[in-house]
Amino acid sequence: MKNAVGREIPDDILRALGKEPFQGNNYKNGVPFRRVAPIIHPVMDNQHSKLVKDIHEALVKCKAHSGMTVSFHHHFREGDLIVNMVMEEIHKMGLKNITLAATSLGKAHDPLVPMIEDGTITRIEASGVRGMIGRTISEGKLKGLAIMRSHGGRVRSLMTGETKVDIAFIGAPTSDDYGNLRGIGGKTNCGVLSYSHIDGDQAEYVVAITDCLVPFPNFPAHISMTKVDYVCVVDAIGIPEKIATGAAKPTTDQRKLMMAEYCTQVVVNTPYFKDGFSYQTGVGGASIASTISLTRIMEERGIKMGFGVGGLTKPMCDLLDRGMVRVLMDTQAFDLDTVSNVINPAHHRISAGAYANPFNKGAFVNKLDYVILASLEVDVHFNCNVVVGSDGVITGAQGGHPDTAQGAKCTIVICPLLQGRIPAICSEVTTVTTPGESVDVVVTDYGVAVNPNRHDLLEALRKADCVPLKTIEELRDIAYSITGEPDPVEFEDRVVGIIEARDGTIMDVVRQIKKCDPKE
């Protein structure tokens, strides 16, 4: 069946998953649902110790079994040691058919590939997958499906019970012996534990893993002992230099600076740019440069930001330190400056649910005026693809892309016209991950396109005459005039991955890549 973004979703997939095709952003708006409640194993005995001697004991006590679902967060990013550590133990125990429900997976988790090939891991649920696991899924080696959800969509999925986590493993920079967890302190400081809040709420068993046990109570706790079953102390939970690095040096690439300037001009010449506006941006060179040039104009015009939200970087923290933004709402700290800035009383930690869950009674993203995003591909319908490379291989993550894009009043996607020799502005994206109805403005190095549904923004930018305006089709045509129109990527029939929309409907499917025949 074709969905609202024109993607064919095979009926057998819809049937097998009990899902509907995507039917538009607000299809589930106001539709009531019952939140599932987890099984709780209460602790009343005051002699009970939550400390276990190793991961193995934790797994045994949590009744680890074949076919179970285990979950992890990705606050340690490419420095994460927890997923591999736990999965190795599960592998040693000979358990099979595991669903790995991580908030995101990266290159740090390449060692899991043999466990996919031998059937230990047969299903993956994540915001996205980078590195060798992505390639392994695309090659059809995962027995079951990979389900890719946005950060908000993941929280929804745990709340509705679509994802039932048997054991959640929460890496914590500090913990006490009763499971009060904090994202700061210790040797693997990551600042916040936002992605794990929902796992603490919904998983049957919750195991805290730390390399820094501190005296009780470790307060104020970011995840409370009331949700934690066991605490396991290990030598190291992460590689600090890969968790958060120094702030990215502002880019000197003129192409990125140009796109940043276009982006800033779009922001300051649209109606939401007024005192108290809200803003989210990413970690790319152009996004950071745009925040810096935006700051200059805010100062000139005496405009202050009401709140900044999402994954944060130094330029956003600088705004806070200089009194240019009232509060920051933090779900992820991307650099060391941000990690250390969380001590600022106006720098608040929020859960991924508060940030982006579409099945909340309203999430932070709904209050965004502007979000600046990137994309691997954007098509002439303004659909974005942030997960599947133009070679058809799973290589990225949805993250908060679809959540913020839908939530923000003005969603700006920065995307160079060409990624190497591949046109990034194209007729049809390889895979739809964020629907075009969420995307308002596309900024490229060749010009800026406004979604024709946003007459108001188009009018404002025309009047301001501040950026080279083009239609999205014109941008596509320029790209194709340079590279030629690429042939579509060839896939096998087998569906290996699902791109789930925020509301749990199916946005698109990812198919197995076709093997290249070197003789051809």
Partner 1 sequence: MNPNMKRLRRSMMFLNCQKPSLIKDPYVYAPDSIMLDLEDAVAEREKDAARYSLYHALQEIDYRGVERVVRINGLDTDLWKEDIRCSIAGGCDAVRIPKTETAKDVQLVEEAVLKAEKEFHVEPGRTLIMAALESARGVMNAFEICCASSRLFGIALSGGDYTKDLQTTISGTGVELMGARQHMIIAARAAGVQCFDTVFTDLNNMDGFRKDVETIHAMGFDGKSIINPRQIPIVHEIFTPKQKEIIFAEKVVREIDSKRAQGIGVFTVDGKMIDIAFYDGAKRILALARASGVYKGEL
- For 373-389, what is the HEC assignment? EECCEEECCCCEECCEC
The sign one gets for the Cα dihedral 397, 278, 246, 256 is: positive
Give the pairing of strands 174-175 and 181-182: antiparallel
**Least gap, CB of 257 to partner 1 (angstroms):** 7
What distances in angstroms separate CA 63 from CA 42, 69, 91, 485, one per listed residue? 16, 12, 15, 54
CB neighbour list of residue 252: distance below 8 Å, 6 or more residues apart: none
State how far the Cα of 498 lies from the Cα of 97, in Å rounded to an integer.
18
Among 29, 48, 252, 517, indicate the residue that binds partner 1 (CB under 8 A). 252
Give me the 257-286 binding string for partner 1, x by CB under 8 A, dash otherwise: xx----------------------------
Cα distances (angstroms) measured from residue 133 to each of 124, 142, 286, 383: 10, 9, 28, 25
Which tokens sit at 443?
A: 């900024």
**Rg of the chain over all Cα atoms, to the nearest angstrom:** 23
- Please identify, using beta-carbon distances, which residue of 289 and 365 lies nearer to partner 1: 289
The whole-angstrom distance between residue 350's C-alpha and the CA centroid of its chain comes to 15
Whether 502 and 156 have beta carbons less than 8 Å apart is answered as yes
Phi, then psi, of 139 in degrees rounded to 5: -80, 0
Task: Check binding of 370 to partner 1 (CB under 8 A).
Answer: no
Q: Give the residue with the Cβ less far from partner 1, 112 or 257.
A: 257
Site track 385-424 with partner 1 (rule: CB under 8 A), x = hit = ---------------------------------x------
Residue 192 in the binding site for partner 1 (CB under 8 A)? no
Total site size for partner 1, rule CB under 8 A: 10
Piece of the chain touching partner 1 by CB under 8 A; list 247-255, 304-312, 340-348, 487-495: 247-255
Nearer to partner 1, 26 or 481 (CB): 481
Residue 255 interacts with partner 1 (CB under 8 A): yes or no? yes
* 70/448 with CB nearer partner 1: 448
Helices (H), 101-239: 113-117, 132-138, 151-160, 197-202
Q: Residue from 482, 488, 490, 515 that binds partner 1 (CB under 8 A)?
A: 482
Q: Which stretch binds partner 1 (CB under 8 A): 151-159, 254-262, 353-361, 433-441?
A: 254-262
What token pair was written down for 490?
């060839």
From the CB of 374, what's the least distance to partner 1, in Å?
Answer: 18
Sole window of 20-28, 253-261, 354-362, 367-375 interacting with partner 1 (rule: CB under 8 A):
253-261
Query: What are the DSSP E strand ranges found in 347-403?
Result: 347-349, 370-374, 377-379, 384-385
Element containing residue 506 per DSSP (H, E): strand 506-513
CB under 8 A: which stretch of 28-36, 132-140, 143-151, 249-257 binds partner 1? Answer: 249-257
Task: State which residue, 29 or 252, has the beta carbon closest to partner 1.
Answer: 252
Cα–Cα distance, 99 to 164 (Å, whole number): 10
Tell me the CA distances in angstroms from 226 to 50, 72, 78, 223, 460, one per residue in order: 12, 19, 29, 8, 51
In terms of CB distance, is 47 or 254 closer to partner 1?
A: 254
| Shortest separation between residue 423's beta carbon and partner 1, angstroms | 12
Polymer length of the chain: 520
- If one asks whether residue 49 binds partner 1 (CB under 8 A), the answer comes out as no
Footprint (CB under 8 A) of partner 1, residues 436-455: 445-446
Q: Which of 32, 254, 302, 487 binds partner 1 (CB under 8 A)?
A: 254
Is 481 among the residues that bind partner 1 (CB under 8 A)?
A: yes
By CB under 8 A, name the binding residues for partner 1.
Answer: 252, 254-255, 257-258, 418, 445-446, 481-482
